Amino acid sequence: MKAYDAIVIGAGLNGLTAAALLARAGWRILVIEQHNEVGGLAGPGILHDHGSLCTKLLAGLRLQDHGLELTRTAAPLHAATGAGERVTLSAEAPAGGLSPDDAEGYRQYRAVCSRTVPLFRKLLLRPVPQRKADFLMLLPCWRSAAARELLHLAPLSAKDFLDQFFVHDALKAALAVPSLQAMYGGPFAPFGALAILMHEAMRGQHVVGGLPALAGVLHEAAASHGVKTRTSTQAEEILVSKAGQACGVRLATGETIATRMVAAACSPKEVFGSLLRFGAQRHMFAWRTRHLRGRGTTAHMVLDAAAPALLPCTRIAPGLEALERSFDRLKRGELPDTFALEIAAGRKAAQLSVLAHCVPYRPKGGWTDAARSELTGRVMEQLLPHLPSTAQVSQLRTPADLENEYRIPGGHCYHLEQAPDQLLVRPVPNFASPVAGLFFCGSGAHPSGSVTCAPGALAARAMAAYQKPLGRLFRNNRHI
């Protein structure tokens, strides 16, 4: 008998979610994580926005019993509009500093979101339709007025979408940030509105204590259902039997562990790029997966800055045209002069965490020491009017660093770009792969990245459904 029903590769939020749900249904689960702590990207204080947890999908885990605290109140978003000036946006209504036109625009913007977002969320939180019957079941959704509005807005660029509501350019640039993070394109690129609406659709409850707290709670819940976790353990190869069934994992130490199934919470590109050996690669699916796009354009910095003038959750961006020019330079492998910056509180009291968007994955000449200090210098220059002059960058992660540290080919925040062809009509359909018993359960699976935990939860359901004819598991699946 195999030691485990499934091995989960990667202890990020999605890997932990899949592991906990499967273990709750009686599966014997091992999670392996290359780092010495769990949480993946959510661990080290890189992420700023922790308001998108899909609690409904996790209800069975009773995370509150393990210490999860949620709040509906999101921290307001501030957009710097000039040195020392800013406007404030709360989740539902304009809060302060907006001109009457922009305040009215914000009301309209929220009204559009509340009309379209419930449908979009519904579509995202179910598996991608595959069969004719699945499409037919969705037909009533597509007949609604909300669907027509969504189809009308989604192909717009972030600029065309936001121009409909707002006048102030810095405000538009601040609201365009989710599209820069999700896609490979500037604010003039088509489908920026899709990324902005997706960001709105994924908004959920906020985790008190932030994402490291959520990772801790998920880990504890998983352990309470018997999940074993091995940290500082790197998977080197997913073993496939002659019959084409995933049957084990070989670790970097050479040790092999047998299992009936494998759930990869790491990037699908990593799975087909390095974890599977040649035999399993000849499939068209493997070719498609290797060619999925995940070009990262976000860098993370930690700033030591006592008593900063900036409030957490502030976005600083030079305006849409300037951002488009920055993106043009990025495409040519050059370092732009200005970036879209997001500022949040750091892990320690006198620290700030900064996300810089429009940073090339690999600039011409590579990330030499000179290129790294050029990047930090330019970001500091942009931040200077808002920070004390003593502020200093103490840590920098470029997209290439994120690639190396988390094994995300391309270093993209969401493992894969949220382009329309990679989102709703996915070349990696749902969660299964052509290798029997090998599933995807991380951000690269449906419905894609951010801290919803939805890919992990939906993948656990798909794995359980795959096992249905096998009696014992069939009985337990209804709990997932």
Ligand X SMILES: Cc1cc2nc3c(=O)[nH]c(=O)nc-3n(C[C@H](O)[C@H](O)[C@H](O)COP(=O)(O)OP(=O)(O)OC[C@H]3O[C@@H](n4cnc5c(N)ncnc54)[C@H](O)[C@@H]3O)c2cc1C
**In the complex, which residues of this chain contact ligand X (CB under 6 A)?**
9-15, 32-35, 40-42, 46-49, 52, 234-235, 265-266, 270, 298, 300, 355, 402, 406-407, 413-414, 442-443, 449-451
SS3 category, 451: coil
CB of residue 443 to ligand X, shortest distance in Å: 4
SS3 category, 433: coil
Query: Given the complex with ligand X, which of 98 and 202 has the nearer CB atom?
Result: 202
Query: Given the complex with ligand X, which of 263 and 391 has the nearer CB atom?
Result: 263
Query: Given the complex with ligand X, which of 5 and 33 has the nearer CB atom?
Result: 33
- Beta bridge partners, 261, equal 6
* DSSP labels, 335-401: PPS--EEEEEE-SSTTEEEEEEES--SS-TT-S-HHHHHHHHHHHHHHHGGGS-TT-EEEEEE-HHH
Query: Given the complex with ligand X, which of 19 and 189 has the nearer CB atom?
Result: 19
Beta strands (DSSP E) in 293-350 are 298-304, 314-316, 340-345
CB of residue 312 to ligand X, shortest distance in Å: 12
CA distance 443 to 414: 6
CB of residue 390 to ligand X, shortest distance in Å: 25
Nearest-5° Cα angle at 14, 478 to 240: 85
Query: Given the complex with ligand X, which of 105 and 248 has the nearer CB atom?
Result: 248
Query: Given the complex with ligand X, which of 294 and 437 has the nearer CB atom?
Result: 294
Residue 115 · residue 151 · CB < 8 Å: no
* DSSP labels, 4-31: EEEEEE--BHHHHHHHHHHHHTT--EEE
CB of residue 151 to ligand X, shortest distance in Å: 25
Q: How many residues does the chain have?
A: 480
Q: Where are the alpha helices (DSSP H) in 13-99?
A: 13-24
Residue 176 · residue 159 · CB < 8 Å: yes
CB of residue 332 to ligand X, shortest distance in Å: 23
Query: Given the complex with ligand X, which of 106 and 406 has the nearer CB atom?
Result: 406
| Closest listed residue to residue 342, CA positions, set 306, 383, 376 | 383
CB of residue 167 to ligand X, shortest distance in Å: 27
CB of residue 46 to ligand X, shortest distance in Å: 5
Query: Given the complex with ligand X, which of 31 and 247 has the nearer CB atom?
Result: 31
Nearest-5° Cα angle at 335, 331 to 341: 100
Exposure of 435 in the CB half-sphere (CA atoms within 13 A): 30
CB of residue 144 to ligand X, shortest distance in Å: 27
Query: Given the complex with ligand X, which of 383 and 473 has the nearer CB atom?
Result: 383
CB of residue 264 to ligand X, shortest distance in Å: 8
CA distance 300 to 303: 10
